[in-house]
């Protein structure tokens, strides 16, 4: 029996956890799989091992691990595969697959543009800070640069990618260099839901010295229907190898 285990990042903020659960529950309503469960990478329960155990108890013979991640960095490349490897040792009779992160899918680029333009009419060349979570993995920096490039090429926007921690330009540095010189600065959290990092963006702006700058804060991305559409595509991609084995087996 096929199961889907949806993986949220997790946060200490109850609001962010609730948003993630609502997102997954919305996705579940449009899936045919008999077993669907939710787990979190960190900072919230249930954990991934607990989610896998629940799927097994419900009779799963195959589990698609579906992380809701924007970027293919350390979590997708190392942390989750390590947990899957442990689960394979514990449940050798279960077939596991893992879906890809959302990535720089065209619908995600479209969602970013919609998020920006619904907030304000932008002056030409207004700086737009695309604020990512951050990672020690260089892939996160490369990903953000690619997203910024696509937004610039497709919509002629002035995108500045930056990060809340890890490698690459830090958000604090980017906004400090702009707030004294720009009249309108757009801040786009490259995040799916509210969390401590989202709160950190708000606090950083509030702590800036007075200036003539106007800050426009955009919403997180998780409320967009496009995100659901991309996730459904990633699920189908993860299930396809299992369907092919079933068909030819």
Strand 62-67 and strand 2-8: the pairing is parallel
CATH class of 106-217: alpha beta
Helices 225-248, 106-117: inter-axial angle, 10-degree rounding: 170
Query: In the beta sheet, which residues pair with residue 184?
Result: 214
pTM of the complete model: 0.90
Q: Do domains 2-102+224-248 and 106-217 have the same CATH topology?
A: yes
Q: Which of 144, 192, 203, 193 is nearest to 168 (CA)?
A: 144
- CA angle 17–201–6, rounded 5-degree value: 25
Q: What is the pLDDT of residues 11-61, one digit of tens each?
A: 888 988 999 999 999 999 999 999 999 999 999 999 999 999 999 999 999
HSE, CB side, 13 Å, CA atoms: give it for residue 239. 16
Return phi, psi of residue 183, to 5°.
-80, -35
Distance CA 19, CA 77 (A): 25
Query: DSSP letter at 122?
Result: P
The string of DSSP letters for 196-241 reads HHHHHHHHHHHTSPP-S-EEEEPPPSTT-HHHHHHHHHHHHHHHHH
Question: Using DSSP, how many helices (H) and how many strands (E) does the chain show?
Answer: 9, 8
Q: How much is the CA Rg of the chain, to the nearest whole Å? A: 19
Contact indicator for 67, 5 with CB cutoff of 8 Å: no
Distance from chain centroid for Cα 37: 18
CATH code of the region 2-102+224-248:
3.40.50.1400
| Annotated domain spans of the chain | 2-102+224-248, 106-217
Q: Which of 178, 187, 175, 185 is nearest to 218 (CA)?
A: 187
- What is the residue-level pLDDT of the chain in tens, covering all 249 positions? 999 999 999 988 898 899 999 999 999 999 999 999 999 999 999 999 999 999 999 999 999 999 999 999 899 999 999 999 999 999 999 999 999 999 989 999 999 999 988 876 777 788 999 999 988 889 999 999 999 999 999 999 999 999 999 999 999 999 998 987 767 899 999 999 988 888 899 899 989 888 878 888 998 999 899 999 999 999 999 998 666 555 444
Token digits of residue 54: 């629940």
- CA angle 106–235–197, rounded 5-degree value: 65
């Amino acid at each position: 029996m096929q199961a889907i285990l949806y993986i949220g990042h997790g946060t200490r903020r109850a609001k962010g956890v609730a948003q993630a659960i609502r997102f997954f529950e919305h996705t579940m309503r449009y899936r045919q799989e008999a077993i669907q469960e939710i787990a979190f990478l960190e900072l919230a329960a249930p954990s991934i091992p607990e989610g896998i155990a629940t799927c097994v108890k419900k009779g799963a013979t195959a589990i698609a691990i579906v992380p809701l991640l924007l970027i293919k960095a350390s979590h997708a490349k190392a942390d989750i595969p390590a947990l899957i490897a442990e689960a394979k040792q514990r449940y050798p009779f279960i077939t596991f697959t893992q879906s890809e992160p959302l990535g720089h899918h065209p619908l995600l680029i479209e969602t970013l543009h919609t998020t920006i333009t619904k907030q304000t009419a932008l002056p030409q060349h207004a700086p737009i800070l695309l604020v990512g979570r951050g990672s020690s993995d260089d892939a996160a920096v490369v990903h953000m640069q690619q997203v910024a490039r696509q937004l610039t090429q497709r919509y002629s926007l002035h995108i500045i990618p930056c990060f809340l921690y890890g490698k690459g330009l830090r958000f604090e540095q980017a906004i400090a260099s702009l707030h004294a010189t720009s009249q309108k600065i757009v801040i786009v959290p490259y995040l799916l839901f509210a969390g401590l990092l989202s709160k950190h963006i708000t606090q950083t702006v509030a702590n800036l010295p007075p200036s003539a700058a106007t800050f426009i804060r955009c919403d997180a991305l998780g409320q967009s229907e496009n995100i659901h559409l991309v996730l459904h595509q990633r699920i189908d991609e993860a299930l396809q190898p299992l369907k092919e084995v079933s068909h030819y087996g």
